[in-house]
A and B are shown apart, each in its own frame.
Chain A
Amino acid sequence: MAQDRKRKKQPRVIIFTTPTCSFCRAAKMYLRQRGIRFREVDVSRDQAALRDMVRRSGQQGVPVIQIGNKIVVGFDRPKIDRLLGL
């Protein structure tokens, strides 16, 4: 029950990555382990998404994780936990 409720309330999660980025891989492993559904955008293959990410986050690096309308820069686990209520 609690699980179901949590699942419904989960904000939309998008993770911006590149294939060689180790912290991206770590962040994805972590989200998977915690049962968080997310969409991955590989910015190395999508120029439009890359520009969009840079505009939204001001970042020139990955991972950038969008949780709801909040931006998390890097694999900042305490912040990810807080935003997802983990």
Chain B
Amino acid sequence: MEIKPLIAGFEPQERPEGGEGEKPAVYDVIVLGAGPAGLTAAIYTGRARLKTLVIAGPLPGGEPSNTDLVENYPGFPEGIAGMDLAQRFQSQAERFGAEVVFDEATAVDFSQQPFTVQTYSTTYKGRTVIIATGAEPRRLGVPGEDKFFGRGVSTCATCDGFFYKDKRVVVVGGGDSAIAEGLFLTKFASEVIVVHRRNQLRATKILQERAFANPKMRFVWDSVVEEILGDETVTGVRVRNVKTGETSVIETDGVFVYIGMVPKTELFVGQLELDKQGYVVADRHQRTNVPGVFVAGDVQDPNYRQIVIAAGTGAVAAMEAERFLDEYWQTPHEEAGPS
């Protein structure tokens, strides 16, 4: 196909072809994060025959791999283990040629083309970057939390639930994560006490029905955790009723915190437009304020945080990256010299 130059007198540049299996000097697409958003993006860019690198970050598979059972991702009527779903995403991306590396970005430079991503071990260059670094659990920020983190305070029931066999645990929060993970904990714990700051749950109705029907679950309404108590190990939490102001102590062996997520965007401060809460600002085409840098998934989504939506935005980001590259190779541009 003949490509018409956009500007008279300009000849479209030869688009470099990497040999099979060779590592290109400059990737077409670098995806940061290997959750549903990043891996879906890689499936699409791989199928578009773009040289794609996925830098997996600290948790390959992303947030779903912390989830016991995923029941709302279409195509799996019986549900699927979060870890299995994550593995399937990755296999599918790799099948179409995406290279997934187990490394973590430590710095980025989006100020000139090609963009640079520094990791623990290597410096990578890419024409486009798709940010899909996700979000991490918000911490309570109360006394005792840091001291007991990993020793009675956790944000990962699938990791640590086992340690509370026949023990009593407190779950803080009232959303989907809090209730789903609370239900998971009833497999081990003798009692699961949900402490929630409102007088009703925000979780999906089907989860609420299961929680209310579960004899191991108990609810403490209108209450917030003010302190985590204990000497060597956690012995309780002090809670305050937000309506009456009364405080009381709930005895417990463990505390699981599910009070929302914080986007992982420290790397992009000063390089990309972030909102007040730290989420990457994106338009409807998943474009950031830097041309060639796209964003997908929870890192730009304060509202929904669903696997299906993360995957959807990943697909949009990938298609927009492809479009960007098509235009990039048809217009004159300054190449940054070798560094």
Contact = CB atoms under 8 A, between A and B. Distances in A.
B263 to A, nearest CB: 19
Given A61-B150, A77-B58, A77-B120, 19 more contacts: A18-B162, A20-B68, A20-B159, A22-B66, A22-B86, A22-B156, A22-B159, A26-B60, A33-B102, A44-B162, A50-B163, A54-B163, A60-B152, A60-B164, A60-B254, A61-B154, A61-B163, A62-B162, A75-B58
B101 to A, nearest CB: 9
Interface in B104-162: 104, 120, 150-152, 154, 156, 158-162
A74 B162 CA distance: 15
A77 B12 CA distance: 44
Contacts of B160: 21, 60-62
Interface residues of A, number: 27
Interface string A10-42: 000000001011111110011001000000000
A85 interface: no
Contacts of B102: 26, 29-30, 33
Contacts of B164: 60
Interface of A: 18, 20-26, 29-30, 33, 43-44, 50, 54, 58-63, 73-75, 77-78, 81
Contact of B159 (A24, A30, A33): A24
A29 B160 CA distance: 19
Nearest to B184: A20
B61 A22 contact: yes
A61 B159 contact: yes
Given A22-B65, A77-B104, A58 B162 contact: no
Given A25-B65, A77-B104, A62 B159 contact: yes
Interface string B160-175: 1111100000000000
Q: Which 5 A-B pairs have the closest CB atoms?
A: A61-B160, A22-B65, A21-B159, A20-B158, A60-B163
Contacts of A22: 59, 61, 65-66, 82-83, 86, 156, 158-159
A77 B102 CA distance: 11
A48 to B, nearest CB: 14
Nearest to A78: B120
B150 A74 contact: yes
A86 B192 CA distance: 42
B148 to A, nearest CB: 9
Given A21-B156, A43-B162, A44-B162, A60 B83 contact: no
B204 interface: no
A62 to B, nearest CB: 6
Contacts of B82: 22
29 contacts: A20-B83, A20-B158, A20-B159, A21-B158, A21-B159, A21-B160, A22-B59, A22-B61, A22-B66, A22-B86, A25-B61, A26-B58, A26-B59, A26-B102, A44-B162, A50-B163, A59-B150, A60-B150, A60-B151, A60-B160, A60-B164, A60-B233, A61-B150, A61-B151, A61-B154, A62-B159, A62-B162, A74-B150, A77-B120
Contacts of A30: 102
B31 to A, nearest CB: 17
Contacts of B151: 58-61
A84 B164 CA distance: 32
B82 to A, nearest CB: 8
Q: Which of B82, B83, B162 has the most CB of A within 10 A?
A: B162
Given A60-B254, A61-B160, A77-B120, A23 B59 contact: yes
Nearest to B57: A26
A77 to B, nearest CB: 7
